[in-house]
Chains A and B, each alone.
Chain A
Amino acid sequence: MSLALDRATSAAAPATSPATLQPFRTAAGGLIDRSQPLPFTFDGHAYTGVAGDTLASALLANGVRLVGRSFKYHRPRGILSAGSEEPNALVELRTGARREPNTRATVAELYEGLETASQNRWPSLRYDALSINALAAPVFAAGFYYKTFMWPASFWEKLYEPLIRRAAGLGRAAEAPDPDHYDRMHAHCDVLVIGGGPAGLAAALAAGRAGARVILVDEEATPGGRLLAERRTIGALAGTTWAGDAIGELRAMPDVRILSRTTLFGVYDHGQYGAIERVSDHVAVPEEHAPRQRYWRIAAKRAILAAGAIERPHVFGGNDRPGVMLAGAVRAYINKYGVLPGREFAVFTTSDDGWRTVADAVAAGARVVAVIDSRFEVRAGLTQAAVAAGARIMLGAQVIDTAGRPELAAITVMSDAGRTETIRCDCLAMANGWNPIVHLDSHLSRKPVWDARISAFVPGGLPGGMTAVGAAKGQFLLSDCLDGGARAGAAAAADCGFAAVSPPPYTTDPESDAHEPLWRARAGRGKAFVDFQNDVAATDIELAHREGFRAVEHLKRYTTLGMATDQGKTSNMAGLGIMAELTGQPLPQVGTTVFRPPFTPVAIGALAGHHRGQDFRATRHTPSHGWAEANGAVFVTSGQWLRAAYFPQTGETDWLETVRREVSTVRSAVGICDVSTFGKIDIQGRDAIKLIDKVCANAFASLPVGKARYAIVLREDGFVMDDGTVTRLGDTHFVMTASTANAARVMQHLEYAHQWLYPHLDVQMTSVSEQWAQFAIAGPHARDTLRRIIDPAVDISNEAFPFLAAAAITVGGGIAARLFRISFSGELAYELAVPAGYGDAAWRAILNAGASYGITPYGTEALSVMRIEKGHVATAEINGQTTARDLGLGGMMAKKKDFIGRLMKERPALIEPERPIVVGVRPVDPNDRIRAGSHFIGVDVTPGPEADEGYLTSVAFSPVLGQWIGIGLLKNGAQRHGERVRAYDPVRNGDVVVEICAPCFVDPKEEKLRV
């Protein structure tokens, strides 16, 4: 590992020919491998970079400095930074299904064959027709959305919106489905170190050496942070060597995990963190089985925030011209990537570290023409390198303008006395102090606090268990980063119970961090940008101030300052600084906005991981699934379940034909349906009946052993939650069923009633839904079929086992089973439950037993047809908005006991006569088809919301009646049987006259189910 980081080694390597094709590549130096050329394209032009490049460094090496057009004014833009804070250099990567828009060129690692393109330009990057926007700049000033597009309203749809959409879109999303997959991981550790710069490495070393489980998260391909971008020494070692050694030592520790190419994007409550690992973004196609990205959820006892700092640009006329860059980025391109971003440099600084740029540029063979420092005095010795390089040193001066077409060719400098002069240069390095990355600290709503020493915000109330170190805390000296990191690492390990020792203080080369911020330079001719990505200029801040939008949250929304995808990483401070000058307030009083996750954009696909398409949630199979699949069943999803909807036979051409056959066979012979998906709750205990009586709205105290009863469960607000059955298997033993959809909810409700409302009751319960397979056997031959599989001792004659009887029995020679004589179809019917492991065998045995009667398996469609024929309500009617009275079940409500929902169901609005109530519906013309969702309208009434009288909840084609029938909810429906209304369905051109009837179409006297 340390080899790859040894700059001395790579500098000694001979420059190979591919490097010479890159005019701005240095002959030696940098953490790149010049022997590995990587061809790539940008806007169709072929270029070559080298291993270790980012797209940004490779473009600069090739002299490409214009890489994009700005959002609002389509101004030419270049590369500002060398990291994830980049606001300008947003590009499209790859093509086809892997095309990815709005990617920062500064973090995109180069690989062989990478195809890239600029965005937001037409017809070409160099000649952009929409750059006319820049001439119309006054129109696009702050608040332009609010002012310009106010009136008239109809213009929005036709003119403004399409125009804005065309003009404002940055990248283009891929149009084909993402071919890659994404993964999700959970990790736990003692100490999480966020950021692998000097402070983070020192912290991880101290914690790791103490034996703590450490996770170190770093954005880049190789940790090291600023050590890789600067020429520093630690002890006797070069900074890069020290970093390489540290990484090597950490990798050798068994309980330390380094996650590189990983961005920690969110801090959540109670020590939880979210991170994205870019596993395969640096290769063309992920390796087999490797994900494109991996989403990490990390739980840590302690966290050390070593996320570093972001350098601040200067605000002056034409500061967005390609070639104007952050000074720290210029040093990174020179030292880390072996690229000179220009030939003739100028430096505009207000801080000591800006002067480092001079020596680095000179060492790499560039010329430094001028150093402009707005301070009148600087520390002796700071100017030494500039003097040696023959650069002009201009103290008390400011850069106020730039020129070039469009890349930088000259700057205008104004002296303190107000004299201006033009200086030729093709790269301007800006150094205006650094902002500690306070984003992560503020994810839990903590406000950062002002640190006057560095003129920046630092983490305020750090979230529980988190400590900031190094530049993230506002400590910009390398020695402070190392010592502070080591102390924090040792302390965090000690907090987790490990004996840790702080290492002796680190020694570094001489350094200083004096700084005087300059929120904006004196006015020049050109536009001075504050927020590069959203095109917010200093004049926009002035406008907002004039128009009264001075509070920080107003300023942000009025100007869109800091609201782009970079969340104002390079712009917020200048905006606040200018507003502070305008209002005459101290800056901290202007305040700062709240930062929210994610720190950098996160792909939704990465959060979803494998939970997409069919794998969005787990799939549950019924016990008869294998048989059903082998026999051509068509399935339907019901929550997590896959249930057989119908079983087509050879020759059947549509589902309706199949369903008609299944229903007719059940009604004339016998059928079998898998109803295992219903919830089954086993309830036992001395007070079990008391709990059931509280939870169910109908009476249960009188339920004898060996009997099942229909059960209605209400919510406390009086609406129906679910229906099912309760069976008393023994004196203190019950089994309750719930619908497939509500099974988990009913279980939760029962637990709630028991644990919270009635904690004194002696009762225990558990879900046995998955333990029992349950089949409905229905039809005139149901008993004959059943007799062939149950053990001979069990008497299921009508006399011994009448309607609603229930018993524990045995089947197939001693296998424990439960038999319930209940019916959803209205036929003579049973439900047989067997242990789930016997489900498949029992299903096959019943089909065999019923073969001579012509048994048919039937699915949820036939089940639904038969329940509509019988007028039984189901999920379509028990929809959370209906009471028992609405469902025609009001008469079942117990009068003499208290139960959940008892009082609230009697609220005046819920019992008023006009309330829709369940009715049956059949078209007057038996050839008419009706559809669920149609609304009831009077026959001669003009349709409209005020004429609405209810709607059709369920429809079916009834094989018994030979026509479509339905169930619906109709105003005052119980009193309107025989009346005619329209079933009106404008969406599907439905308008059918129907007759209202009792909601039961087959065997209303219920003779069939009692035979």
Chain B
Amino acid sequence: MRIDCPCCGLRDNGEFTYLGDASPARPDGMDASPAAMLDYVYRRDNPAGPHRELWYHGAGCRSWLVVTRDTRTHDIAEVAFARDAARARDAEKAVP
């Protein structure tokens, strides 16, 4: 596989580390319930199709990335900085 890092360009997947699904949101703060945290830590879907997932460019720019990969074909539709995606996520959460 090759991943098109928005900072470094098209790079061999040996430079990256896989983490997993990017969709679960961490229940943050002192009010978070143990049940919600348990779900966040352990429960994952295993979709056949597009999957948003976290990769770390450890042997490159050290960016965490959100890679949208089709689990059936390995086609990569989008690669974005995790930080931008996280900010967008948090901004959405802030909307009442």
Contacts and interface: CB of A to CB of B under 8 A. Distances in A.
Interface of A: 268-272, 297, 299, 444, 464, 716-717, 744, 747-748, 751-752, 754-757, 759-760, 897-898, 903-904, 906-907
B86 A756 contact: yes
Given A744-B58, A748-B17, A751-B64, A757 B2 contact: no
B2 A272 contact: yes
Contacts of A747: 62
Given A760-B90, A907-B34, 4 more contacts: A269-B2, A272-B12, A748-B58, A898-B32
Contacts of B29: 898
A904 B38 contact: yes
Contacts of A299: 2, 12
B37 A755 contact: no
B58 A755 contact: no
Q: Which 6 A-B pairs have the closest CB atoms?
A: A759-B86, A270-B2, A755-B83, A903-B37, A755-B64, A269-B74
Interface residues of B, number: 32
Given A752-B19, A898-B30, A903-B34, A759 B56 contact: no
Given A752-B19, A759-B87, A898-B30, A268 B1 contact: yes
B41 interface: yes
Interface string B52-80: 00101010001110000000011110000
Nearest to A463: B73
B54 A756 contact: yes
Given A271-B2, A744-B58, A760-B87, A755 B30 contact: no
A484 B82 CA distance: 45
20 contacts: A269-B2, A269-B74, A272-B12, A299-B12, A716-B40, A744-B58, A748-B58, A751-B56, A752-B64, A755-B63, A755-B81, A755-B83, A756-B83, A757-B86, A759-B83, A759-B86, A759-B87, A898-B28, A903-B32, A903-B34
B7 to A, nearest CB: 12
B77 to A, nearest CB: 13
A789 to B, nearest CB: 35
B44 interface: no
A906 B63 CA distance: 32
A906 B33 CA distance: 12
Q: Which of A269, A297, A751, A759 has the largest count of B CB atoms less than 10 A from its CB?
A: A759
Interface string B16-44: 01010000001011101010011011100
Contacts of B17: 748
A752 B56 contact: yes
Nearest to B36: A903
A542 to B, nearest CB: 36
A904 B41 contact: yes
A765 to B, nearest CB: 9
Nearest to B35: A903
Interface of B: 1-2, 12, 17, 19, 26, 28-30, 32, 34, 37-38, 40-42, 54, 56, 58, 62-64, 73-76, 81-83, 86-87, 90
Interface of chain A, main secondary structure = mixed
A189 to B, nearest CB: 14
Contacts of B63: 755
Q: Which of B26, B28, B37 has the largest count of A CB atoms less than 10 A from its CB?
A: B37
A696 to B, nearest CB: 16
Contact of B41 (A716, A748, A754, A897): A716
B44 to A, nearest CB: 13
A375 B74 CA distance: 46
Nearest to A759: B86
Contact of A717 (B41, B64, B73, B81): B41
Contacts of B64: 751-752, 755-756
A846 B86 CA distance: 48
Nearest to B42: A717
Contacts of A269: 1-2, 74
A496 to B, nearest CB: 14
A748 B56 contact: yes
A679 to B, nearest CB: 13
A270 B76 contact: yes
Contacts of B75: 464
Q: Which of A272, A717, A751 has the largest count of B CB atoms less than 10 A from its CB?
A: A751
Contact of B62 (A751, A756, A757, A898): A751
A760 B32 CA distance: 20
A552 to B, nearest CB: 21
Contacts of B86: 755-757, 759
A748 B74 CA distance: 24
Contacts of B12: 272, 297, 299
A898 to B, nearest CB: 5
B74 A904 contact: no
A199 to B, nearest CB: 27
A904 B76 contact: no
A270 B32 contact: no
A698 to B, nearest CB: 16
B55 to A, nearest CB: 11
A987 B60 CA distance: 45
B1 to A, nearest CB: 4
A517 B25 CA distance: 59
Contacts of A759: 82-83, 86-87, 90
A533 to B, nearest CB: 32
Nearest to B22: A756
A990 B81 CA distance: 55
B66 to A, nearest CB: 9
Contacts of A748: 17, 56, 58
Nearest to B56: A748
Contacts of A897: 30
Contacts of B62: 747, 751
A904 B33 CA distance: 10
A919 B86 CA distance: 43
Nearest to B31: A898
